[in-house]
Amino acid sequence: MPRYYLDFQDGEMWLKDEEGQDYENLQAARDAAIAALPDIGREAPPADGRRAFVAYVRDEGGARLCTVRLDLAAECDPDGSHP
């Protein structure tokens, strides 16, 4: 089975996968990255309510094969003037 590496970016913070994991194929590695992003998004939100989470799937040679993005945007209207 091929080995893929899942790197994560949360704003300025990077988590680089140094060990990798064997997946059946690229789609399985991509699906693992998709499944991991909501868990990362559960952390405390920034003051402006906006956050972008990105996962990258790399192969053993270091080439980026997939980019998975989860964007969070929370907007409030304290006056209630917008429907």
DSSP 8-state class, residue 60: T
Q: Which value, to the nearest 10 degrees, does the dihedral of the CA atoms of residues 16, 43, 33, 62 take?
A: -10
Residue 41 has pLDDT above 70, yes or no: no
Residue 48 has pLDDT above 90, yes or no: no
Q: Smallest Cα–Cα separation from 36: which of 60, 17, 59?
A: 17
Phi, psi for 15 (deg, rounded to 5): -125, 105
Q: Which band of pLDDT confidence, cut at 50, 70 and 90, is reported for residue 32?
A: very high
Mean pLDDT along residues 21-26: 97
Phi, psi for 46 (deg, rounded to 5): -70, 165
pTM: 0.81
Q: Which band of pLDDT confidence, cut at 50, 70 and 90, is reported for residue 4?
A: very high
